[in-house]
Chains A and B, each alone.
Chain A
Amino acid sequence: MEQGTIIEIQGLTKTFRGALEPAVKGISLSIGRNEIFGLLGPNGAGKTTTISILCGLFPATSGKINIDGMDMKGDLSNIKQIVGVVPQDIALYPTLTARENLDFYGHMYGLSGKLLKDKIDMWLENFGLTEAAKRKVNTYSGGMKRRVNLIAAILHDPKILFLDEPTVGVDVQSRNVIIDYLKKLNDNGTTIIYTSHHMDEAEHFCTKVAIIDNGTIIEQGTPAELISRYDGCHNLESVFLQLTKRRLRD
């Protein structure tokens, strides 16, 4: 593992129980420290499966993963301590308030007392949720829920933040707030691994992207490199469509 690499994946394969073919087929990737890495692909390409394995949700069928110098199989508990995960779906208790949700998740990351309270106050303030902090989450708009969903993953100042479609279903204002704060986190040293269907967002937000289809990485590089690599492509979306074709996916 190179000095500047925070995640090293070699030959990652995942075949789900009962599935005829692997969801992820021997992926190898290196993600640099302090990068904003976009994992892009159509539906069913293997993005969420890859992210889920990296988060420790379920084990890989084969392959090696090293995160910040720790082996995924032997040091999972320590790895979980340095990563934050923002799931695609809202993972909050709807009948608890934002503050109660964050208090619970903060404790699960090992935070407590004044430190936890200060962090909750700070993030609620930063994301414009202080006023609504005492309201139950089920009274929130989609954008507000997304913001709380994000805060729950960054309370413990993770070194690596995984985001699975963090801006799905939110208005432009909320999306801008989320992206701005993700950039600030990245400026403070957090490595971000991110999946999205918004090519425009990814093009401007990511420092490096990999395009995945049918469980295989088919291209990777900086957005500018990818755009320049393919004739007639003026943006990341056109590169994406050229590589993954226009066929509809399940």
Chain B
Amino acid sequence: MIKKLLASVRKETLLLLRDRVGLAILFIMPMVLIFVMTLIQDSAFKTLNEKGIPVVFVNEDKDSLGITIEQGLRGSTLCAFSDSIDGQPATYETAKNAVADGKFLVGVVIPKGATDAIRKNVMQLVEETMSTDSVQTIAISDSVDITIFIDPITKKSFLTSITSSLREFISIVKTKIMFQTFSDQIAEIIPDQEKKPVNAFNKTQIIKYNEVFASKQIEEIVPNAVQHNVPAWTIFAMFFIVIPMAGSIMKEKNEGSVFRLHTMPSSYLLLINGKIITYIFVCMIQFVLMMSVGLYFLPMLGLPKLFMGNSYLALFIITLATAFAATGYGVMVGTIASTEQQGAIGGALSILLLSAIGGVWVPTYVMPGVMRDLSALSPLNWSLNSFYELFLRGAGVEAVWYDALKLMLFFLLTMTVASIINRSNRKI
């Protein structure tokens, strides 16, 4: 039995090695996909994570508001701050043109006299608040018009982040002025009271918060294009073996080998097992190659190095389970299909669909709620979630065993379907 199985594996390996197109689909295509998709998505990930959103700032105010916002934007990791364009100080017009030309995603202009306008408003507010008149009418004497130029391609989430920051800076300045004005007014009403120090406001910031990525890593791993794309496209490549695998099953049917094998004292399952072993081995090689792209080749292009987590055992378990699920799916497609074209087209389309749903193309967290629910049905998503657990959260076997179990059950399901269809086809 073992000798028969080994002979079947050997035959399958030879067939695969002599199918150059199949080899290209299995190894070269996914490696190219990882390079291309990572490079494309890297700028999008970087916009938020590393470089920040390119912002041009025009400070016509030159007073507290302008200075506070400038300091805030300069210190923010959200922005790539600039107050000059092509070596010249930015103005209202040049900033507008620069955003229109796509040199910056956002332009912020603080108009002249903005701080004065806030001061007047606050003063009026304080005076009316402390007035003993029965009728109080708070009128805004002058409004502050901050202009924000926006590149139409800017994502709404980016824009919301910038405007929220601006509101926060304006609020700080407004509160600071209000605090100072109230202090001055109180000092006038109660002359004996010791005047508050000028920097008293700074001591009032008693609530602070830290942003930390929830990860068990010793060093924090920031989600980036590499951490997403390498596992995502590796899983895609592993499932893409459905095309050569289904093709191989179809060829054996068409070329009469299956006919001959059915007349021999060997079960068809043995032949299929030979295929499964071979293609699982192929999947493992794919995994090693794809990971090496993330570890060695992508960093050569200036991209971050892939971090593979802490548990190689967990990594092996989820990779093996993914390989089983992928080969089971290949056997099922090859058994259902009537022609090689059906197998290739049906297999490719179904994998594209399952990968899109499963979060390979774009992470599931940016999907609408319905699609996120649907993604839980894709075996590619089960696998990807486990890789995220390992690569981003530094988890171990305890975090992947459930998904690995689901993938193994998927393998058993596909094999059962294939077996039922095969038996049905033979009952002619």
A91 touches B259 (CB 8 A): yes
- Name the segment of B6-14, B44-52, B281-289, B409-417 touching the other chain: B6-14
Within 8 Å CB of B19, what residues of A?
A: 95
Assembly CA distance A105 to B265 (angstroms): 11
Any chain A CB within 8 A of the CB of B263? yes
B263 touches A81 (CB 8 A): no
Any chain A CB within 8 A of the CB of B175? no
What residues of chain B have their CB less than 8 Å away from a CB belonging to chain A? Answer: 3-4, 6-8, 10-11, 14-15, 18-19, 255-257, 259-266, 426-428
A96 touches B15 (CB 8 A): yes
A56 touches B263 (CB 8 A): yes
- A107 and B3 in contact, given A58-B428, A95-B18, A100-B14 (Cβ under 8 angstroms): yes
- Name the segment of A63-71, A108-116, A181-189 touching the other chain: A108-116
Within 8 Å CB of A55, what residues of B?
A: 263
Find A108's partner among B18, B259, B261, B428 (CB 8 Å cutoff). B261
Q: Which residue of A lies closest to B257 (CB)?
A: A91
Find A110's partner among B4, B11, B18 (CB 8 Å cutoff). B4
Among the interface residues A81, A95, A152, which one has the most CB atoms of the partner chain B within 10 A? A95
Within 8 Å CB of A89, what residues of B?
A: 256, 259
B263 touches A85 (CB 8 A): yes
Within 8 Å CB of A57, what residues of B?
A: 259, 262-263
B255 touches A93 (CB 8 A): yes
B11 touches A93 (CB 8 A): yes
- A108 and B256 in contact, given A57-B262, A58-B426 (Cβ under 8 angstroms): no
Q: Pull 29 A–B residue pairs with CB atoms less than 8 Å apart, ordered by A.
A: A55-B263, A57-B259, A58-B428, A80-B263, A85-B260, A87-B259, A90-B255, A90-B256, A91-B259, A92-B255, A92-B256, A93-B257, A94-B255, A95-B14, A95-B19, A96-B15, A104-B7, A104-B11, A105-B264, A107-B4, A107-B7, A108-B4, A108-B7, A108-B266, A110-B4, A110-B265, A112-B3, A112-B7, A153-B260
Q: A-B contact count, CB below 8 Å?
A: 80
Within 8 Å CB of B8, what residues of A?
A: 104, 107
Q: Which residue of A lies closest to B18 (CB)?
A: A95
Assembly CA distance A108 to B274 (angstroms): 12
Assembly CA distance A110 to B266 (angstroms): 9
Within 8 Å CB of B4, what residues of A?
A: 107-108, 110
Within 8 Å CB of A56, what residues of B?
A: 262-263
Within 8 Å CB of B260, what residues of A?
A: 85, 87, 91, 105, 152-153
Any chain B CB within 8 A of the CB of A6? no
Assembly CA distance A190 to B396 (angstroms): 62
Lowest 5 CB-CB distances: which A-B pairs, in order? A91-B256, A107-B7, A91-B260, A85-B263, A80-B265
Assembly CA distance A174 to B11 (angstroms): 28
Minimum C-beta distance from A97 to chain B (A): 9
Any chain B CB within 8 A of the CB of A204? no
Assembly CA distance A112 to B7 (angstroms): 9
A81 touches B265 (CB 8 A): yes
Within 8 Å CB of B257, what residues of A?
A: 91-93
Within 8 Å CB of A93, what residues of B?
A: 11, 15, 255, 257
Minimum C-beta distance from B199 to chain A (A): 82
Within 8 Å CB of A107, what residues of B?
A: 3-4, 6-8
Assembly CA distance A157 to B181 (angstroms): 109
A171-212, CB < 8 A from B: none
- A91 and B255 in contact, given A96-B14, A100-B14, A104-B7 (Cβ under 8 angstroms): yes
Minimum C-beta distance from B147 to chain A (A): 69
Other 4 A-B pairs with CB < 8 A, given A92-B257, A104-B11 = A95-B19, A103-B7, A109-B265, A152-B260
Assembly CA distance A83 to B264 (angstroms): 8
Q: Which residue of B lies closest to A85 (CB)?
A: B263
Within 8 Å CB of A105, what residues of B?
A: 260, 264
Minimum C-beta distance from B230 to chain A (A): 33
Minimum C-beta distance from A47 to chain B (A): 16
Any chain B CB within 8 A of the CB of A3? no
Find B263's partner among A83, A92, A100 (CB 8 Å cutoff). A83
Any chain B CB within 8 A of the CB of A16? yes
Q: Which residue of A lies closest to B266 (CB)?
A: A108
Within 8 Å CB of B18, what residues of A?
A: 95-96, 136
Any chain B CB within 8 A of the CB of A141? no
Minimum C-beta distance from B5 to chain A (A): 9
B15 touches A95 (CB 8 A): yes
Any chain B CB within 8 A of the CB of A246? no
Assembly CA distance A58 to B263 (angstroms): 10
Any chain B CB within 8 A of the CB of A245? no
Assembly CA distance A93 to B10 (angstroms): 13
Within 8 Å CB of A92, what residues of B?
A: 255-257
A87 touches B256 (CB 8 A): yes
Q: Which residue of A lies closest to B4 (CB)?
A: A107
Assembly CA distance A95 to B16 (angstroms): 10
B7 touches A16 (CB 8 A): no
Among the interface residues A17, A93, A94, which one has the most CB atoms of the partner chain B within 10 A? A93
Within 8 Å CB of A77, what residues of B?
A: 265
Assembly CA distance A85 to B256 (angstroms): 12
Among the interface residues B8, B19, B257, which one has the most CB atoms of the partner chain A within 10 A? B257
Minimum C-beta distance from A129 to chain B (A): 18
Within 8 Å CB of A17, what residues of B?
A: 427-428
Assembly CA distance A95 to B256 (angstroms): 14
Q: Which residue of B lies closest to A137 (CB)?
A: B255
Q: Which residue of A lies closest to B261 (CB)?
A: A108
Minimum C-beta distance from B424 to chain A (A): 10
Minimum C-beta distance from B216 to chain A (A): 49
Within 8 Å CB of B14, what residues of A?
A: 95-96, 100
Within 8 Å CB of B256, what residues of A?
A: 87, 89-92
Within 8 Å CB of A78, what residues of B?
A: 265
Minimum C-beta distance from B7 to chain A (A): 3
Q: Which residue of B lies closest to A100 (CB)?
A: B14
Q: Which residue of B lies closest to A82 (CB)?
A: B265
Minimum C-beta distance from B244 to chain A (A): 13
Within 8 Å CB of A91, what residues of B?
A: 255-257, 259-260
- A80 and B255 in contact, given A103-B7, A104-B8, A110-B4 (Cβ under 8 angstroms): no
